[in-house]
A and B are shown apart, each in its own frame.
Chain A
Amino acid sequence: MSQAVKKKNSTTILDSTRVEIRNLTKQFGSTTAVHNASLDIENGEFMTLLGPSGCGKTTILSMILGTLQPTSGEITFNGQPINKIDMSRRDIGMVFQNYALFPHMTVAQNIAFGLDMRKVSKSEKKKRVEEAIEMVQLNDLGNRFIKDLSGGQQQRVALARAIVIRPRVLLLDEPLSNLDAKLRKEMRTQLKKLHDELGITTIYVTHDQEEALSLSTKVTVMSNGIIQQIGTPKEIFGKPKNYFVANFIGYGNFLRGKLIDEQDGQFIFEADKDSVRLVVNHDKQHQVGDEVILTIKPEMLEIITDPKIGMNTLSGKITVSDYIGSATGYEVETKEGRTFKVNVLGLNPYAMGEEVRLYLDPAKLLIIDEE
């Protein structure tokens, strides 16, 4: 315990930087990797860029870092435009996807590199390198060469090298994607702790929604170079704005259609394809006449046996059953020819081909837009 307190005292919580991105666009020839992106990252915030591979996350990071010049748009640190500042002068800590550790240097030399560039005095350098090594728990490995480290250890060195310079902004490009599942979880907790301690404005790139959820104070979801939604993890996962976001974070079931009527604070929804009618709670953002999509998570769908509930039920039969540890994933094909994904906790006794009824709770159905 006293150890922990001592550590806290010796660590400096840094003043940090507010990053603003305005109308940022990057084109490679005819392909647009990033399209008109605007983002604010507050002082000390942990922002995650979430999106599938190839959606432009690394490109945004590279423009902040300075390895790529934006085609148009602006990036500012605390109000100062940095587009024209050379990358060596931006004071950014970066953890590369492949770590990019210097193979001809030891762990300590790698970590000290940025301090050398800043002409930090010898004693100060020694102190800060030791501090960083301790912070990422690499004690006693300072004199090893990089090739003698495991993947997880390399990852820590990369992190230490980035934070030891006390950067204005810390950028991490899928830092955990090359670790095995167990190590990934462990590093995640460490990263979170580190951010809590240091308070550096952090931009974190991942395609893993679980990482985004557990680490971030704010999440930005991207697809095809376009920002789809910005919000707290809770907002993103509880209220996805559109089809892409909902689909990406795991809402498996979608019905396209129209809100045709309103009664008792509830909408009546009619599907385009088969005129299925469903009742859904009013969400204050849509009104009668809107073309919308209804969506519900597989774990929110219920398989019922009670024949009394008639509203918002669809009958069908089980076509796929897949036991995945704590839950069973079913696919149910309805009479209308739709397929619904349903997750049921535990190993439930529904057989293949069994006739069941699905209940779509009006409170759990979500109204979203196509775009």
Chain B
Amino acid sequence: MNQEVFAKKRDYLLLLPSLIPLLLLFVYPLLKGFVMTFQQPETAGLTLANYVEFFTNSNYYDTIWRTLYLVVPASIIELFIAFGITYFIREKMRGGGIIAGLTIFPLTLGSIIVDMAVIAFFKPTGWFNTTLINMGLIDEPFTLVYNYAGAFIALVILGTAFIASNLVGMMGTIDPNLERAARTLGASRWVTFKRVFWPLIRSNVLTVFALNLIMQIGVYSTAVIVGNPASETRTFVVVAFEEAMRNFNYNMANTVAIVMGITQLLVLSIVFAIRKRGYIGSASTFK
């Protein structure tokens, strides 16, 4: 009996091969990183200097607004486009699969290729501008790359793909008979959407929206490649990398990262506070 218990206890040693590396490589750095934000390079002792610096130097605190100014409008637009497209094609429709596939396609390309593609398409001599010029709509090409607009477009394309990829499955879980029931009871399409479809999918949509928003707050390569990382698209991660790789100031770099994490947390709690105020639960009751 004792033998057996002992053997069972020893089994839990099998957890160690994965736990030890994680403690060393993840938990310890995470804690150390947190402590680092209260330290200065080369000096001992704890101080709030990094945070003071962050919130008093516009070079740092501007990143909050710059990131949010870029990412929040982009993710709202992404949500509208992705929802609009997936809602429209949700019932079996000819070509629906192709439309969904193409909408999600940028995800497989990945951020870097999408960034380059946005440049190729929207640059002053790219198809977008030349078409508009040839149609006589504009005389001078728009400057849509290496600035806010470029990063914005690239974000919208990637974010739409991400949200759409999640929505397609979610919309599939809502029984089309619910909508049919509402319609036969006299509801117009809009009322059916407002009173049946939306309340049922709302909590899931908000979750995906929050996930996407959080991901985009950590935007980096897009801000660097199609944006203007020196000013307009100087996001959290751009600054963090600058501190870490150019100034080798890991303390400041991590301070930026922590502020970013807190921002993400705030955004998340706002979205979830909104989410809590509606129906959260299964879209099917059939027994």
A: which residues have CB within 8 A of B? 65-67, 87-94, 96, 98-104, 113-114, 117-118, 146-147, 149-151, 154, 161, 165, 178
Q: Are A94 and B184 interface neighbours, CB within 8 A?
A: yes
Q: Given A65-B180, A100-B175, A102-B178, are A117 and B185 neighbors across the interface (CB < 8 Å)? A: yes
* B284 part of interface (Cβ distance < 8 Å): yes
User: 11 other contacts beyond A66-B183, A104-B200, A154-B287, with CB at 8 A cut-off?
Assistant: A65-B184, A88-B183, A88-B184, A88-B185, A96-B177, A96-B180, A98-B175, A98-B177, A98-B286, A100-B178, A103-B282
**Cβ-neighbour of A103 out of B183, B185, B281 (below 8 A):** B281
Q: How far, in angstroms, from A93 to B181 measured CA to CA in the complex?
A: 9
Q: Are A100 and B181 interface neighbours, CB within 8 A?
A: yes
Q: Are B279 and A87 interface neighbours, CB within 8 A?
A: no
Best-surrounded residue of A89, A93, A102, A165 (most CB of chain B within 10 A): A102
- Looking across the interface, which residue of chain A has its beta carbon closest to that of B186? A117
* B196 part of interface (Cβ distance < 8 Å): yes
A–B complex contacts, Cβ < 8 Å, 7 sampled: A65-B180, A88-B184, A88-B186, A94-B184, A96-B177, A100-B180, A165-B185
Q: Are A151 and B184 interface neighbours, CB within 8 A?
A: no
Residues of chain A within 8 A (CB-CB) of B283 are 103
Residues of chain B within 8 A (CB-CB) of A88 are 183-189
Return the 4 tightest CB-CB contacts between A and B, nearest first: A117-B186, A114-B185, A104-B279, A100-B177
* B108 part of interface (Cβ distance < 8 Å): no
Best-surrounded residue of B175, B282, B283 (most CB of chain A within 10 A): B175
Q: Which B residues, 264 to 287, have Cβ-Cβ distances below 8 Å to chain A?
A: 279, 281-287
Nearest CB of chain A from residue B170's CB, rounded to whole Å: 15
Q: How far, in angstroms, from A178 to B286 measured CA to CA in the complex?
A: 10
* B191 part of interface (Cβ distance < 8 Å): yes
Residues of chain B within 8 A (CB-CB) of A154 are 285-287
Q: How far, in angstroms, from A154 to B285 measured CA to CA in the complex?
A: 9
**Cβ-neighbour of B181 out of A66, A89, A96, A118 (below 8 A):** A96
**Cβ-neighbour of A104 out of B175, B187, B281 (below 8 A):** B281
Q: How far, in angstroms, from A92 to B186 measured CA to CA in the complex?
A: 9
Best-surrounded residue of B180, B199, B279, B287 (most CB of chain A within 10 A): B287
**Cβ-neighbour of A118 out of B186, B196, B199, B200 (below 8 A):** B186
Residues of chain A within 8 A (CB-CB) of B195 are 113
* B182 part of interface (Cβ distance < 8 Å): yes
Residues of chain A within 8 A (CB-CB) of B200 are 103-104
Residues of chain A within 8 A (CB-CB) of B191 are 117
Q: How far, in angstroms, from A93 to B184 measured CA to CA in the complex?
A: 7
- Looking across the interface, which residue of chain B has its beta carbon closest to that of A90? B184
Residues of chain A within 8 A (CB-CB) of B287 are 150-151, 154, 178
Q: How far, in angstroms, from A90 to B185 measured CA to CA in the complex?
A: 9
- Looking across the interface, which residue of chain A has its beta carbon closest to that of B281? A103
- Looking across the interface, which residue of chain B has its beta carbon closest to that of A119? B186
Nearest CB of chain A from residue B179's CB, rounded to whole Å: 9
Q: Are A87 and B184 interface neighbours, CB within 8 A?
A: yes
Best-surrounded residue of B183, B184, B195, B283 (most CB of chain A within 10 A): B184
- Looking across the interface, which residue of chain B has its beta carbon closest to that of A99? B286
Q: Which B residues, 178 to 212, have Cβ-Cβ distances below 8 Å to chain A?
A: 178, 180-189, 191, 195-196, 199-200
Residues of chain B within 8 A (CB-CB) of A100 are 175, 177-178, 180-181
Residues of chain A within 8 A (CB-CB) of B184 are 65-66, 87-88, 90, 92-94
Q: How far, in angstroms, from A118 to B191 measured CA to CA in the complex?
A: 12
Q: How far, in angstroms, from A135 to B184 measured CA to CA in the complex?
A: 21
Interface string of B244-281 (1 = CB under 8 A from A): 00000000000000000000000000000000000101
Residues of chain B within 8 A (CB-CB) of A91 are 186
- Looking across the interface, which residue of chain A has its beta carbon closest to that of B184? A94
Q: Are A165 and B285 interface neighbours, CB within 8 A?
A: no
Nearest CB of chain A from residue B56's CB, rounded to whole Å: 48
**Cβ-neighbour of A146 out of B175, B185, B186, B285 (below 8 A):** B285
- Looking across the interface, which residue of chain A has its beta carbon closest to that of B280? A104
Q: Are B181 and A87 interface neighbours, CB within 8 A?
A: no
Q: Are B282 and A117 interface neighbours, CB within 8 A?
A: no
Residues of chain B within 8 A (CB-CB) of A114 are 185-186
Q: Given A98-B177, A100-B175, A104-B200, are A117 and B286 neighbors across the interface (CB < 8 Å)? A: no
Q: Are B284 and A103 interface neighbours, CB within 8 A?
A: yes
Residues of chain B within 8 A (CB-CB) of A104 are 199-200, 279, 281
Q: Are B285 and A147 interface neighbours, CB within 8 A?
A: yes
Nearest CB of chain B from residue A97's CB, rounded to whole Å: 8
Residues of chain B within 8 A (CB-CB) of A98 are 175, 177, 286
Q: Are A94 and B181 interface neighbours, CB within 8 A?
A: yes
Q: How far, in angstroms, from A103 to B202 measured CA to CA in the complex?
A: 13
Residues of chain B within 8 A (CB-CB) of A66 are 183-184
Residues of chain A within 8 A (CB-CB) of B183 are 66-67, 87-88
- Looking across the interface, which residue of chain B has its beta carbon closest to that of A157? B285
Q: How far, in angstroms, from A96 to B176 measured CA to CA in the complex?
A: 11
Nearest CB of chain A from residue B78's CB, rounded to whole Å: 26
Nearest CB of chain B from residue A352's CB, rounded to whole Å: 43
Q: How far, in angstroms, from A149 to B286 measured CA to CA in the complex?
A: 10
Q: How far, in angstroms, from A150 to B284 measured CA to CA in the complex?
A: 14
Residues of chain B within 8 A (CB-CB) of A96 are 177, 180-181
Q: How far, in angstroms, from A103 to B284 measured CA to CA in the complex?
A: 6
- Looking across the interface, which residue of chain B has its beta carbon closest to that of A118? B186
Q: Are B175 and A165 interface neighbours, CB within 8 A?
A: no
Nearest CB of chain B from residue A54's CB, rounded to whole Å: 18
Residues of chain A within 8 A (CB-CB) of B182 are 102, 113
Best-surrounded residue of A94, A118, A149 (most CB of chain B within 10 A): A94
Q: How far, in angstroms, from A114 to B191 measured CA to CA in the complex?
A: 12
Q: Which B residues, 156 to 182, have Cβ-Cβ distances below 8 Å to chain A?
A: 175, 177-178, 180-182
Q: How far, in angstroms, from A165 to B185 measured CA to CA in the complex?
A: 8
Q: How far, in angstroms, from A102 to B286 measured CA to CA in the complex?
A: 10
**Cβ-neighbour of B196 out of A92, A93, A102, A149 (below 8 A):** A102
**Cβ-neighbour of A147 out of B175, B188, B281 (below 8 A):** B281
